[in-house]
Structure 1
Amino acid sequence: MIPMYDLVVVRYGELTLKGRNKKRFTQQLTKTIRTACRHLPVRFESEHDRFYIHLDDAAYDHVASALAIIPGVAGFSPAIKAEKTTEAITEASSRLLAMHLDSPKTFKVETRRADKTFAIPSMTFSRALAGRLLSAFSDLSVDVHTPDLALHVEIRQSMAFVFVDKVEGLGGFPAGIAGKGYVLLSGGIDSPVAAFLAMKQGIAIEGMHFESSPLTSIEAAQKVVDLSQCLAPYAMHQHFRLHMVPFHRLHQKILETVPEPYHIIIMRRMMFRIAARYARLDHTQVLVTGESVGQVASQTLESLNVINAVTHMPILRPLVTMDKKACIRWAQKIGTYDISIRPFEDCCAVYVPAQPATAPRDYLALRYERLFDFETEISTILKQIQVLEIKQDTSLFLPDYGLTVLEALEAIGAQT
């Protein structure tokens, strides 16, 4: 039997614990939900601890797909509405149970009576409704401790409704509620997951990709465009801004001037300098990276300290204690894994030293940086960063427009 639901009940979860900030959090979340469902024939209704989506002519599956990827949604349930009478609630409950009874089951009824003008107490109503349903379904039996199925009844001011399924949402906080950050987005597995986890916690994330074509292939930058498409549905307004940083000249100078063991350390220090200075131009509060302690040479505690030393801007590392298997599971869940493992590497992966420094020293990093004029290069780079607005349905294949990213961006007229 195809379920015929009337509405979807959306739960806020821990947003309801935010005290005086609760209104701001819930308003941002409901705004995001309305945007995500804007093309569907639905109506919206809000109460202090619930948000309702009346399905009207919309398919529940379409609404569920939209809700499943919205940060801040703790969970949701498809429900059937009823008048606030025992007879109407019994009829709605019978319809709902018929949808779920593929085999004999145990069940229980849980009633939440938010409308205290409804005369029958919750426990009394649950027992009475269970008795009516037992009479209607001979294969059912009651088990209040470990039932196969829990029938939930909510009696609110405006209506009553019944539901069985409780679908888990992403949780976290609404997009953008915590401020803005830039993620240093490579084409690897880790940084897209870090971007997603930061967005899940309410940070409006934009990507910064340090592209080094022709030292690296243009296909490496294309991976990042495709990863941005995967991240767009989770982003604020469901589009992802990708800032393309022309890094090849500075990258070349590092390779030519700096001793090989310090290549990646100096490269990362330059990236952090550029990202932090660029972030200050539009009042971005934090940088986000996909670094995890000890996974590679540049992610030892000594290396992270030397890299961090170039900026006072907070650096968030959502994966800092996550092992690789856990990160891969997240990447598979959000759809970035298959893109990340394409055989096109970015500048930090292509030119890995044979014997990288795992315990670098700050004074040595400073000494090697004095060997070339990086400040002039950074000033030039900051003026040349270009921005791509990426949506889930964006169709953009950089190799069609040139052999380097710069050629491609000039051909398509990217925003600077």
Structure 2
Amino acid sequence: MKRRWENILISEIRKVVGGAKLRRGRGRIWIENEISPECEERLRWIFGIQSYSKCDHCKLQELEDRVLSFWNERVRDRSGFSFAVKVKRSGKHDFTSQEMAARIGGLILDHHPDLWVDLENPDYRIYIEIRDNDCYIFDEVIECAGGLPPGVEGEVVALFSGGVDSAVATWLMMHRGCKIIPVHFDLGAFSAHDGRMRAEKVTSFLKRYQRDLELLVISHGDFLSDIRRILSDAKIENHTCLLCKRRMYRVIEEIAVREGAKGIVTGESLGQVASQTLDNLFILDHAVKIPVFRPLIGLDKNRIEAMARAIGVYDVCTSMKDECLATPDKPTTKGNLQKILEVESNKDI
């Protein structure tokens, strides 16, 4: 499995770096050519890459000279500061990582006696990885998206409004190796604002993580008109949201079956709104036969919004508002499944 995941990750990296030479070894993927700053930036958004660093390479016997050269290139016109050397090694050597770090640190101090070592909170840190006879020197670790390589867990279909909840839920499933098919239900006249435009904007943002991400839009306004009329006649308008969501679930299930996807993803969080009580989530799940994944189920709104800010999608989601005008004044928090099934048996919907 690890080999397959690495192959997928290398394939994603190749899409970014083009003809650059790649090789792998012991948990590392090496790009052996110079790449543009634009390519470096795009590497940050590839799931499966925890971090990357730009390194200087040398042989073990050249390490001391190369460290001094690297230092002089990177640390110019600076004096009176603290530093630390961190060494990681693999292979057979007659020294430990700590011994080599002390040796290199002493070498730097010999050439720069105005400096001092601070292993806990240094002003500058230099890293050295020694792999058999090859050494890699760097001073920056650029954090990336992490997670699992794109698509290694298969496809899922996401119920995608473009709001904060659906965007974070989608990102989390991407982060764990799922390829996403986002589906947006266009409310038509029942959208107080242009919900479709917001969903398209958020999809465009998330494309940095899944390059082939394409929003699928389903017309939903006519269904809402019909269901509101039928529920009004039955005197159970408070079930509108449940009937609406169950229809969305069934449509998404059809898409999932057609595309070979393994489940549905939603941004639902337990108790956040009326349709997301435990009773009502049970009624929603009853509408489909495939798994429904809710990565936000145990999170409150504050934590979800904090995650959205950390991802960088919060401002995109909130730059355009949306509101469903079909929502009843007092939606039920404990739906009646039997009444719902009776309504759904109506041939007019």
* Superposition TM-score, scaled by structure 2 size: 0.90
Identify the match of residue 296 of structure 2 among 314, 319, 327.
319
Number of residue pairs aligned between Structure 1 and Structure 2: 344
Please give the secondary structure, in 1, of the residue aligned with 2:109: helix
Please give the secondary structure, in 2, of the residue aligned with 1:351: coil
Please give the secondary structure, in 2, of the residue aligned with 1:239: coil
Residue in 2 aligned with 1:271? 248
Distance in 1 between residues matched to 2:347 and 2:73, nearest whole Å? 72
Question: Bigger CA drift: 219-228 or 307-316?
Answer: 219-228
- Does the 8 Å CA contact 1:89/1:161 hold for their aligned counterparts? no
Q: 1:92 to 1:373 in 2, by over 3 A?
A: farther
Distance in 2 between residues matched to 1:316 and 1:152, nearest whole Å? 41
Distance in 1 between residues matched to 2:163 and 2:114, nearest whole Å? 53
Please give the secondary structure, in 1, of the residue aligned with 2:282: helix
Indicate yes or no: 2:219 matched with 1:241. Answer: no
Identify the match of residue 278 of structure 2 among 301, 304, 314.
301
- Does the 8 Å CA contact 1:83/1:159 hold for their aligned counterparts? yes
Indicate yes or no: 2:321 matched with 1:341. Answer: no
Distance in 2 between residues matched to 1:268 and 1:103, nearest whole Å? 64
Distance in 2 between residues matched to 1:351 and 1:102, nearest whole Å? 64
- Does the 8 Å CA contact 2:271/2:277 hold for their aligned counterparts? yes
- Does the 8 Å CA contact 1:210/1:246 hold for their aligned counterparts? yes
The alpha-carbon deviation at position 343 of structure 1 amounts to 4.9
- Does the 8 Å CA contact 2:13/2:43 hold for their aligned counterparts? yes
Identify the match of residue 97 of structure 2 among 122, 125, 138.
122
- Give the gaps of 5 or more residues in structure 1: 1-20, 375-416
- Does the 8 Å CA contact 1:92/1:162 hold for their aligned counterparts? no
The alpha-carbon deviation at position 193 of structure 1 amounts to 1.3
Please give the secondary structure, in 2, of the residue aligned with 1:241: coil
The alpha-carbon deviation at position 294 of structure 1 amounts to 1.0
Indicate yes or no: 2:51 matched with 1:75. Answer: yes
Where does 1:119-268 land on structure 2 (aligned, <5 Å)? 120-157=95-132, 159-216=134-191, 219-235=194-210, 238-258=211-231, 259-268=236-245
Distance in 1 between residues matched to 2:302 and 2:348, nearest whole Å? 41
Where does 1:29-68 land on structure 2 (aligned, <5 Å)? 29-38=9-18, 42-56=20-34, 58-59=35-36, 61-68=37-44
Identify the match of residue 350 of structure 1 among 325, 337, 345.
325
* Counterpart residue identity of residue 47, structure 1: G
Indicate yes or no: 2:94 matched with 1:94. Answer: no
Distance in 1 between residues matched to 2:297 and 2:334, nearest whole Å? 18
Distance in 1 between residues matched to 2:48 and 2:110, nearest whole Å? 41
Question: Bigger CA drift: 303-312 or 158-167?
Answer: 158-167
| Identity across the alignment (%) | 26
Question: Bigger CA drift: 185-194 or 75-84?
Answer: 75-84
- Does the 8 Å CA contact 2:264/2:290 hold for their aligned counterparts? yes
Residue in 2 aligned with 1:289? 266
Indicate yes or no: 2:5 matched with 1:28. Answer: no
Q: Cα RMSD over matched residues? A: 2.4
Over residues 344-395 of structure 1, what are the superposed CA-to-partner deviations in whole Å (9 max), with x where a residue is unaligned? 526xx22211010011121122123234443xxxxxxxxxxxxxxxxxxxxx
Distance in 1 between residues matched to 2:25 and 2:113, nearest whole Å? 37
* Counterpart residue identity of residue 182, structure 1: V
Indicate yes or no: 2:336 matched with 1:361. Answer: yes
The alpha-carbon deviation at position 157 of structure 1 amounts to 4.3
Please give the secondary structure, in 2, of the residue aligned with 1:152: strand
Q: 1:104 to 1:45 in 2, by over 3 A?
A: farther
The alpha-carbon deviation at position 62 of structure 1 amounts to 3.2
Please give the secondary structure, in 2, of the residue aligned with 1:293: coil
The alpha-carbon deviation at position 126 of structure 1 amounts to 2.2
* Counterpart residue identity of residue 14, structure 2: R
* Counterpart residue identity of residue 300, structure 1: T
* Counterpart residue identity of residue 176, structure 1: G
- Does the 8 Å CA contact 1:134/1:140 hold for their aligned counterparts? yes
Distance in 2 between residues matched to 1:321 and 1:103, nearest whole Å? 50
Residue in 2 aligned with 1:14? none
Q: 1:339 to 1:93 in 2, by over 3 A?
A: closer
* Counterpart residue identity of residue 46, structure 1: R
The alpha-carbon deviation at position 298 of structure 1 amounts to 0.6
Q: 1:88 to 1:207 in 2, by over 3 A?
A: same
* Counterpart residue identity of residue 66, structure 1: R
Distance in 1 between residues matched to 2:287 and 2:97, nearest whole Å? 61
Please give the secondary structure, in 2, of the residue aligned with 1:175: coil
* Counterpart residue identity of residue 247, structure 1: H
- Does the 8 Å CA contact 1:28/1:175 hold for their aligned counterparts? yes
Please give the secondary structure, in 2, of the residue aligned with 1:111: strand
The alpha-carbon deviation at position 287 of structure 1 amounts to 0.5
Please give the secondary structure, in 1, of the residue aligned with 2:218: strand
Indicate yes or no: 2:87 matched with 1:111. Answer: yes
